[in-house]
Chains A and B, each alone.
Chain A
Amino acid sequence: MLSAEGLTHAFGPVRALDGISFRLEAGHTLAVFGPNGAGKTTLLRVLAGQLRPQRGCAEVRGGRAAIGWISHQSFLYGHLTVIENLRFWASLYGVKREARDRRAAELLTRLGLAERADQPVAALSRGLAQRATVARALMHDPAVLLLDEPFTGLDLAAAAELRRLLGELVGGGRVAVIATHNVDEGLELATDIAFQHRGRFVQLAPRAGRDRTQVADAYRKAVGVSGA
């Protein structure tokens, strides 16, 4: 469903991607751990088709329309209400009007935002805004989820909430890639793990029942820094 082959991209002298290749089948979630500047966001941007790599290629079945992007940037317009934001983003992804309102109602209820539908996004707390972000990303029922440091800026409660939500979303028929510098954040959701360091995948393996300590140790060894 998602494949990358020899992805290479440099910004001037900095190699953000240096020959990354992998495949993900439906139902798999890849957690990419790496320190800041390792090139994780660049990898996601290439997968999303927003950045054409200097070498190599990436393919996502269904193209951009099949991708839901969640990051710490909400992409929401503060002066528009939650429902207006959802409608706008859904139209961009080709969701028809009848389906739009139905889906929006469904998601808002599920995410506990139903009473806030007509509030401007700027009035929401960070945690609620993050839920609205998830709603925005799911309006078109994407088969692929790309998550770029989604837990940044969330307090413990909100982060736990997000983890729970994501837990419900990943698996099934979906493919997900989570990029994070924090081993705790992606681990429980992952079926496969990779460590990205200086543009390369230092290790790429199924998680296979390893616990947090083992992964953190391996991470430390792989990138030579102290893990989260």
Chain B
Amino acid sequence: MTLAQKGRWTTLVGLVLLAAVYVRALAFTPIERTQGPAQKIYYIHVPAAIWTETAMILVGVASIFFLFLKDARLDSFAEASAEVGTAFATIVLTTGPIWGKPIWGTWWTWDARLTSTLFLFFLYIGYLLLRGAVADPGARARYAAVLGICGMVLVPFIHFSVYLFRTLHPMPIILKPSAPALPGSMLATWGVSFAVFTVLYVGFVMQRYALARARQEVPHA
């Protein structure tokens, strides 16, 4: 099986499992007392947010290795991870408001996770735009690697900025879901959901990577 095919199967499995998680979350996990059914979006929202960040860090790591090893596969992986990261960021930025509206009565809040993800989203968009704007493939890979490393290093700074901002402008904490304090069944659902998103990340990246490699091969054909 080619990488793209394996990727497709992985993604399919991931999506099926995701549907299963949905079912479990909606039907079999207790409704959170203060927030009601809307809280359940949390099972999608938080794993996606974690993977948005992790994907960026992986872009950075792959970029560092690329600058040393000059292996085009690392560049393809970075490209794939960036695109998948963008997709996950979009999921977070759409599920966040959907969850926030019934709770807070407003579509957007400057809550820590949403804000960080928004900034990450801009980072990803910049990365993808840079890749699109450089014609020479050698320069494209190098520039993307430079930006990727800077992006990876920026992630903790965004965290700290948002954290510092929040401690001085406290948001309603009581309504925010916090991972460790969940009771057993919720924690289990969350754990499964995170695993599913990991599978989805891997599946999507495999397909996207295969596509990137195929595109690189074409001029040689």
Contact = CB atoms under 8 A, between A and B. Distances in A.
A11 B138 CA distance: 8
A11 B219 CA distance: 11
A51 to B, nearest CB: 11
Interface in A8-39: 11-13
A143 B220 CA distance: 41
Contacts of B172: none
B180 interface: no
A12 to B, nearest CB: 6
B137 interface: yes
A13 B138 contact: no
Nearest to A14: B219
Interface in B96-110: none
Interface residues of B, number: 4
B139 to A, nearest CB: 10
Contacts of A13: 219-220
Contacts of B219: 12-13
Interface string A27-62: 000000000000000000000000000000000000
Interface in B190-220: 219-220
Interface string B137-159: 11000000000000000000000
Contacts of A11: 138
Nearest to B219: A13
A10 to B, nearest CB: 10
Nearest to B136: A11
Interface string B67-80: 00000000000000
A14 to B, nearest CB: 9
6 contacts: A11-B138, A12-B137, A12-B138, A12-B219, A13-B219, A13-B220
A137 to B, nearest CB: 27
Nearest to A54: B70
A13 B221 CA distance: 10
Nearest to B220: A13
A15 to B, nearest CB: 12
